Amino acid sequence: MERIVNLHIEKLPEGVYLATSDEVQGLVAQGRTIQETIEIARDVAKKLLEAQEEDRGEPPPAARDVFDYPLIVSA
């Protein structure tokens, strides 16, 4: 099942990116690039959501058919 998790990504003074989410408690991911940070955040979110599902005994809501996605384009 797919689920949409909104990430907050910021570039730290050290030059790395940090991702967190208000929707998945405990999600913190850090990477050298935005793409690497997103990939790490995806893995962390999957593990956290699986653990939450085991604790609650019910799956999280599925992804909607329509949603917004911020596209990052290098100029």
- Taking only the tens place, the pLDDT of each residue in 23-71 is 899 999 999 999 999 999 999 999 999 998 887 776 666 767 777 777 7
Residue 73 lies in a domain: no
Residue 66 lies in a domain: no
Res 55: pLDDT: 79
Domain count of the chain?
1
Res 42: pLDDT: 94
Residue 28 lies in a domain: yes
Residue 61 lies in a domain: no
Residue 72 lies in a domain: no
Residue 35 lies in a domain: yes
Residue 20 lies in a domain: yes
What type of residue is 73?
Answer: V
Res 66: pLDDT: 72
Domain hosting 45: range is: 8-56
CA 26 vs CA 17, 23, 31, 33, 34: distances in Å:
17, 9, 17, 21, 19
Residue 50 lies in a domain: yes
Spatial separation of the C-alpha atoms in residues 37 and 67, rounded to whole Å: 21
Average pLDDT for 1-30: 92
